[in-house]
Amino acid sequence: MSYSFTEKKRIRKSFGTRQGVIQVPYLLATQLESYESFLQKDVPSDKRKNEGLQAAFTAIFPIVSHNQNVRMEFQGYNLARPVFDMRECQQRGLTYASALRAKVRLIVMDREAAKPTIKEVKEQEVYMGEIPLMTDKGSFIINGTERVIVSQLHRSPGVFFEHDKGKTHSSGKLLFSARIIPYRGSWLDFEFDPKDILYFRVDRRRKMPVTILLKALGLNNEQILAHFFSFDRFDLMDQGAMMEFVPAHFKGEVARFDIVDKSGNVVVAKDKRVTARHLRTLEDGGTQRISVPEDFLIGKVLARNVVSEETGEIVALANEEL
């Protein structure tokens, strides 16, 4: 038997005394079966399993409007026959793909009816795009070039905390940050700047103050301030105001006015530091409210909206400086 030059170089010799018991399996079966179960191309719409492409559609639908008057339901999808075969796609520099069309149903409710009543129902096939098809070799033809899928590492979903090790700011201050990686959706990054102002990013884009995110989640200024800050209560009087006495808010502070007890005795003089002994004296005397001058309120930030009791009009908004 004569061999060609190529065959002579590829001759394999076996020195085993026994024949192989286990045959080499079809190694491409894993890729082919996996992609086939993802597409479920030849399975009728009513018999498809909730996996792969079918699961992606059912996770999004139904889509309901904010006023609950319009509802869009998913009925199924179909994959059209490719326009060109594999050889033609390679010759023309095209992608071997199939057109994906989804059948959806639009249900419009009657807003004027007393009970929920269906006003109109429409069904239509919507073109969703092109899905590449796998060849018999387990590869794809993208723009006329045969390509294969390779494994790729990705970040595990979860919450990650880190800091810059003092390399960002010249002072060496540690700037902490956090990243939220969901199973599906946009990444959220939170970071502090050198002034300890908290910002956030969506998908590593432009940073914005974190209050924008909190307001987008439905919180208003009053709720945001109540969550992050402690308050001092003031009651306006004919002369000055009365402040609720909270010892923890005074400890270590420098008094900007004379602090007197219930008997009118000066416990802490103006411009003196408030110590634990002063606070003990006020607590033992049963002090619950402290008289403060009007100029002490200048520069304070409102924790709640100030509403006129007579007209109900908002005089000043929360988070505004007096």
* pLDDT attached to residue 245: 80
Residue 304 phi/psi, 5-degree rounding, is: -135, 165
Residue-range domains of the chain with CATH = 29-146 (no CATH), 158-219 (3.90.1110.10), 230-316 (no CATH)
Q: Is it the case that residue 95 has pLDDT exceeding 80?
A: yes
Cα 232 from Cα 223, distance rounded (Å): 16
Cα 72 from Cα 159, distance rounded (Å): 34
pLDDT digits over 206-252, tens only?
Answer: 999 999 999 999 888 888 888 888 888 888 777 778 888 877 777 88
Cα 261 from Cα 289, distance rounded (Å): 9
Within 91-181, strands assigned E span 97-109, 118-132, 140-142, 145-147, 158-163, 176-181
Half-sphere exposure of 42 (CA within 13 A, CB side): 3
> What's the average model confidence in pLDDT over 189-216?
92
Cα 313 from Cα 307, distance rounded (Å): 6
Which spans in 259-307 are helix H?
276-284
Q: How confident is the model at residue 40 (pLDDT cuts 50, 70, 90)?
A: very high
Higher pLDDT, 203 or 271: 203
Q: How confident is the model at residue 4 (pLDDT cuts 50, 70, 90)?
A: low
How open is the CA angle 193-199-205, to the nearest 5 degrees? Answer: 110
Half-sphere exposure of 67 (CA within 13 A, CB side): 7
* pLDDT attached to residue 171: 82
Cα 297 from Cα 237, distance rounded (Å): 13
Question: Mean pLDDT, the chain, as a whole number?
Answer: 86
pLDDT digits over 27-39, tens only?
Answer: 889 889 999 999 9
**Long-range contacts from 151-158, C-beta under 8 angstroms, 24+ separation:** 155/181, 156/181, 157/181, 157/182, 157/183
- Cα R_g (the chain), whole angstroms: 36
* pLDDT attached to residue 72: 93
Cα 146 from Cα 304, distance rounded (Å): 64
Cα 282 from Cα 231, distance rounded (Å): 20
- Indicate whether this model's pTM tops 0.75: no
| DSSP H or E segment with residue 8 | helix 5-9
Handedness of CA 49, 53, 56, 61 (dihedral sign): negative
Q: Among residues 266, 296, 293, which one has the least CA distance to residue 281?
A: 266
Half-sphere exposure of 231 (CA within 13 A, CB side): 14
Tokens 């402290």 belong to 290
Residues forming a β-bridge with 108: 70, 120
Name the amino acid, one letter, at 308: S
Cα 41 from Cα 70, distance rounded (Å): 30
Cα 31 from Cα 148, distance rounded (Å): 10
pLDDT digits over 129-183, tens only?
Answer: 999 999 999 999 999 999 988 877 788 899 999 998 888 888 888 899 999 999 8
Q: How confident is the model at residue 109 (pLDDT cuts 50, 70, 90)?
A: confident
* pLDDT attached to residue 7: 56
